[in-house]
Chains A and B, each alone.
Chain A
Amino acid sequence: MPVTQLRTLDYVVMAIYFAVVLGIGWALRRKMRTSTDFFLSGRSLPPWVTGLAFLSANLGAQEVIGMGASGAKYGIATAHFYWVGAIPAMVFVGLFMMPFYYGSRARSVPEYLKLRFDEKTRTYNAISFAAMTVFSSGVSMYAMGKLLNLLLGWDFDTSVLVSAGIVLAYVLLGGLTSAIYNEVLQFFMIVFGFAPLVFLGLRATGGWEMLQHRLTQAAINAQITPTSYTHVWKGMGDPATNSIGVEAFGLLMGLGFVLSFGYWCTDFLVVQRAMAADSMTAARRTPLIAAVPKMFFPFLVILPGMIALVLGGGEGATAVGGIGQGLIPAKLGANGAALIDATGRTVLDYDLATPMMLVTLFPTGMLGLGLTALIASFMSGMAGNVTAFNTVWTYDIYQSHIRKGASDEHYLWMGRVATVGGILLSVAAAYAAGAFNNIMEFLQLVFAFVNAPLFATFALGMFWKRSTGHGAFTGLVAGTLGAVVHHGISLARGAIPGIKGGYFATMLTYPSELAQTFWTATAAFTTCLVVTIVVSMITRPRPDEELKGLVYSLTPRPTEGHLTWVQKPATFAIAVLAMTAVLNVIFF
């Protein structure tokens, strides 16, 4: 039985949003004349548009649902994923890496690897990236179908097929521009849909002070350190005294450096948005503009989860069945009974924290708006993946291996075909996610291993002219193996050997799964770094002339003569970092 039911007005709100989304695609259909228009928006978009899209492209299901879930599970410490795990990397990619991505005129991140290193490094990155986009958009679609079925009783197949159809239509019509415009629209939908949720939630709890008080009580009841849910840094000295089970060094190294730089600085899904900007300055400003709302997003997406943990009585519990905490229902096993963990506690279905807040606090009207914002985030995550997929497929796989030297028209046609293909594969992945849960978990792990060493390759490529193609390729493969080995010999406390690690032996035990993830990434990064350096030293480097515009020491600094000091990206970057530091102090 569904948790809630929508009224006509809610459907009207939803219909208006989707009409605008499709309308944007329709209005752009005649602008898509060349493959550059379709894949790179003709490099013509203003920085506020690419900046908000840079932020939104990552604002898929993981962000909205997942961060609410983590908020309920870990409290405000989840903000580390933003203030440590995103902002510094976003500043870095804008200031130091964009000059090479944008300046080299590469059309994709794998293509940069081709220009800087060689074909095999590019192909390795292109294939793993393309597979990952299809997979993650499928998982996101699956999560949406399941959630809408549970909340509203909508048919799973219909949810998946209709949302896939809408995304297909607007990407086919308007290419990357259409995806980017809709990401900006979705950014505003999320803000307008979730700000009132936080406002009503805080009002219902009795304000921020009262929320802190109740979360402290909840921490005491759960027999964990009282400040666990309400402080970001307090307790980070020891994994035992904070909610995420990591000490500060592991957090800064694993999340703050390896994982976040690996994602924000090398993932084509986000970098593609900056590449669509209309100038070098605009491209460099793109991640910096994105960083400003990004630092305040914890209040929008994490707070609802924290509030859900302490709000109300058993609405959540009675609606879904079983016992829960606050608005969060218990996770149900295959037999329909609530799951109990090893310590005898009920396992909560944290993914429902934010959705339960929506259906509990919003009346008809606002409910339509909130759910539209949620669906919009699922769909634009899908569109982001599909636009990155069709570009990498067309330029880095099709054009470089299957059909070289065809006309631009042909590649534009291929891009549209790849869009259809990417969506079909995503839908297939969505159904696979439902049918083979374990395979999906396994694939997720494989991609994590492939991605973990990436930043070492890019950092060496951009800042060390001696690094070679053979070095980069061997380093990437070795880094992935390093991740496998580390994961295979380590285990989080309480986990059983298998998909969670420890399949070779249990030589290392971590206090939490997150700690294990952070250190696996660090191991991969270090292996890749060392192997790339060693192999580069014994292989022949490319001559300096070939590396102009691709390596820091051989590239003239971007000209900023016409910009006043206030307009310079560096000034902007310092302001962003200072604001982030202030937030860390406030919520220390």
Chain B
Amino acid sequence: MVATAVRNNIRTLRFEHGEMTQQVLAEQVGVTRQTIVAIEKEKYSPSLEVAFRIAAVFGEPLDAVFSYEPDAR
């Protein structure tokens, strides 16, 4: 799939949170692990609600986790 214009730091944040697994993050966010994989690889843009939930898991504001870079597609 064409990469989305939404960039993220999920991999880094998982590392900084004790090497949190994708499965644990998925369970805390309330999505499947495959969706976390797709978001992390920037092949799927999450809904705003899921994006907020991911940021909340890491205790970060939304723009510390996600950024919008349309030219980087």
A and B interact: no
Q: A residues near B, CB below 8 A?
A: none
